[in-house]
Structures are given as C-alpha cells and as structure tokens.
Structure 1
C-alpha cells in the first residue's frame, strides 16, 4: 500500500517540492487527495495485503504440515478405517453434529469402497457443543471394545443431533458394555486425542469441519468424491 500511495503522492507534489520539504499535515492532506482522486488505490492495496497474508499463512501451514505429518498419519491414538498398509493416507477432522461432515461421510465411504489402497485416519474434533463432545468421547471409548467403526458410521447416519441420550441408545444397539463405555469415555487416551485434534486443527489453520489433509493438500470443507480422488492422485504422483 505504501508504494501505491507514494506513487500517487509524488504525482500530486507541487513543482520542486519533495516529501522532505512538506509538513506532516501537508503530507496527510496530499494522501487524502490522492485517495479521493484515485479510490482504486485502496482496493489495490487491500488486494496486495490480502495476497501477502495468504502467502504467509500458506507458508506457515506448509511448515506445520511438514513437522506434523508423521504424527497426523501415524498417531497410534487416532482411529482409522480402510487399508492399514495403504500407501495413501487421508486425515479427516470432523464433528458428529456437523451436517457437512455427514454429507462427506458418504463420499468417504464410497472412496474406501472404490480404492483399496487408502487409509482414512480420523481426528475427532468436537466443536459444536456438548452433544458433539459426548459423541466423540463415546466413539473413541468404543475402541476398547472394538466397536469404533460401528459407532462412527452409526453417529454419521444418525438423524437429528447427537446428544447424550441418542448416543447411548446407539451404543446399546451396537452391543457395547455400557458401564465400561462410560468409564472409558473419561480415559486419558480419549482426552489426549481430542486435545491433540484441537491443537492440530488450529496449527493447520482449519476453522471448521470437515477438513482433510491429503498429501501436501489442506482441504477445508466437504468436497465431492471426485475431488477427494483428485487430491489422492496428486499425492500419489509426488511419491
């Protein structure tokens, strides 16, 4: 913005005058005159600043991804579905009460059915209220009884909001030991997973769910199956 404004100010300087010979009030008056005569200066400056900010943010996110990639893809405290030895890893941050996550769940399921070389790592990121937190804790606790995947798909397919009562009904329907589930929901592994998901999401610049990490790509929002497959193809091309 300074360069644009400086150029406009120079064009308005009286003959023989320089910025050093003008008072502060005179410079301010010229700046205002330059903006009034060339209002596009403001829009151009905003565009430049926005571009610089986006570039800086992208660079910071890329650095975080480089540092955290192994943890994102191989955290032993993160559940996954698909091929345990899959060459391509898709990391998904989600909330069970997010309608866009529910929409994306169908595409993720279709992706797993169509591609046997994909592993989807789940980051439970409950950001939409107490019901979301309860659902995430229940799903993560179900791992101890080998029922995570059943709970996950059941919660994604649930009509209405996931709240304590509806989550417990689902847990019973999939055959979970309820006393053990309730106890395990407060375990350190559950606490650590949710805390790490929050830290990772914030450091990667995600502001909502769903959000995906596929190779070097950070993908916010629900994207169609074809886009997911495109990001996977790009990731494989760089291997």
Structure 2
C-alpha cells in the first residue's frame, strides 16, 4: 500500500522528474515540504490510487465474466423462465426473504411479458438466515416435479418471512408430493446450485440481493424495469 501511495504521489509532486537524481532522504524531505505547502496532494494521490484500484477490479471482473459466461448463462442446474432460446439473458441472484428481491420480481414479470426474446436465469443465493436456505432448497427441489416456477412466484408473493412452516404450506397448496420434495431438498443438485451461486456472487463482488448480470454489466439492487431494459439493449448492442 505504501509503495502504491508513493507512486501516486510521484505523479503529482513537482520534483518527480528529478527525483531520480536525489537521495532517498532528500526525496522524503522534498515530499514532506510539498505536502505541508499543499495538503490537497494527499487527497489527489488517494484519488489516483482509488482509480487505479477500480480499473484493476473492472478488468478482473471482465475477465471473470468471460471465463464464467457459460456457467452463468447456460448452467443446466440453474432454473430459468422466459424464452429457452432467448438471446438476451438476465442472471439474477436473489433471496426469498429479501424485500428488494420481491420488488424486483414484479419487474422481472413485466420484462418477460414485454420481451419474448428474454431468458431469466435464477441463481438461488440464500443469505438471510435458515428460512431463506429452506425456501431456496424447496424451490430448487420443486424442479423435479415440474413446479419450480409456480413455487418461485408463490414464495416471492408470500407475505411475511419464508420459514419452514410457511414454505411447506405453500408446497402443499400447489400440489407437490411432500415426501419427494423433502427428499429432493437434500439432493446433490440442490447443494451444488447453492454452492455455485455463492461462489459466483463472491467472485463477482456482489454483497447483497438482488444482483443481476446482464451482458457485461454487473447490476446490484432492485433497479427499475426501464433500467433492466436498458441494460438488455446495451447487451444486444455488444453482441
């Protein structure tokens, strides 16, 4: 860190061009004098450092997106809604107990209704307690009975927190075989999906839900429908 700050300072201090002809102690003394005369130099140096760090992180995430594109958009162990062959792909990381995810769910419904070429890939990322984990497992297990989407929307529309009792009550109401559901909740496929979601979210730098990957854009938060459509339009242009 000190070396990075020093490098940033050298780009700003007026004696940077001749510093190579000075001793280390002389450089330090001149730097101190310059900083005392103009404390803003420190703030400018930190701004340069932050910009360099942001650029490095952006490059790293762009490289990660390139490497993980197939896993994000085409993982057969990830449920999706919309057009199975849709060229515009939205990947959503979410938690059933996240109020912002519930808001985003309405936008996703509207997005699918308005654009027949969109596929929304779901990454169950339960981060808000045991109820969230139980709900995610139940939703993923419902896939084996062909009722993931019905279970998903039911959980998103649920009032109050998703907990074991309320999740199981919903499962019964949509006609799921409860014995099979409970068994499938502990399957390797369910474990793998949740673990992969966690690893991808951490690698992409997401810190909460909802979070979206649309083309090369990483989009945190419950963004408005118009913004989602804008990111999709941008992704289509990139394609």
Offset from partner CA, 1:112-142 (integer Å, 9 cap, x none)? 0111111100000111111111110000001
- Find the counterpart in structure 2 of residue 222 from structure 1: 222
- Find the counterpart in structure 2 of residue 60 from structure 1: 60
Range with bigger deviation, 228-237 or 189-198: 228-237
- Aligned Cα RMSD in Å? 1.9
- Find the counterpart in structure 2 of residue 183 from structure 1: 183
| Conserved 8 A contact 1:211-1:219 | yes
1: CA distance between counterparts of 2:106 and 2:135? 19
Consecutive unaligned residues in structure 2, runs of 5 or more: none
Q: How does 1:11-30 map to 2 (within 5 A)?
A: 19-20=22-23, 23=25, 28=28, 30=30
- Are the structure 2 counterparts of residues 5 and 237 from structure 1 closer, same or farther at C-alpha, using a change threshold of 3 Å? closer
- Find the counterpart in structure 2 of residue 79 from structure 1: 79
- Find the counterpart in structure 1 of residue 238 from structure 2: 238
Q: How many residues were matched structurally?
A: 231
Deviation at 1:168, TM superposition (A): 1.1
2: CA distance between counterparts of 1:55 and 1:27? 29
Deviation at 1:8, TM superposition (A): 3.8
- Are the structure 2 counterparts of residues 29 and 229 from structure 1 closer, same or farther at C-alpha, using a change threshold of 3 Å? same
Deviation at 1:98, TM superposition (A): 1.1
For normalisation by structure 1, the TM-score amounts to 0.90
Q: How does 1:91-130 map to 2 (within 5 A)?
A: 91-130=91-130
- Find the counterpart in structure 2 of residue 39 from structure 1: 39
For normalisation by structure 2, the TM-score amounts to 0.90
The higher radius of gyration belongs to 1
- Are the structure 2 counterparts of residues 164 and 51 from structure 1 closer, same or farther at C-alpha, using a change threshold of 3 Å? same
2: CA distance between counterparts of 1:66 and 1:4? 30
3-state SS in 2 of match to 1:85:
coil
- Are the structure 2 counterparts of residues 216 and 37 from structure 1 closer, same or farther at C-alpha, using a change threshold of 3 Å? same
- Are the structure 2 counterparts of residues 94 and 9 from structure 1 closer, same or farther at C-alpha, using a change threshold of 3 Å? same
| Conserved 8 A contact 1:9-1:30 | no
Deviation at 1:3, TM superposition (A): 5.1
- Are the structure 2 counterparts of residues 10 and 237 from structure 1 closer, same or farther at C-alpha, using a change threshold of 3 Å? closer
- Find the counterpart in structure 1 of residue 154 from structure 2: 154
Deviation at 1:28, TM superposition (A): 4.8
- Are the structure 2 counterparts of residues 236 and 10 from structure 1 closer, same or farther at C-alpha, using a change threshold of 3 Å? closer
| Conserved 8 A contact 2:8-2:49 | no
Deviation at 1:161, TM superposition (A): 1.3
2: CA distance between counterparts of 1:110 and 1:62? 29
1: CA distance between counterparts of 2:165 and 2:220? 30
Of 2, 8, 23, which residue of structure 1 is paired with 2:6?
A: 2
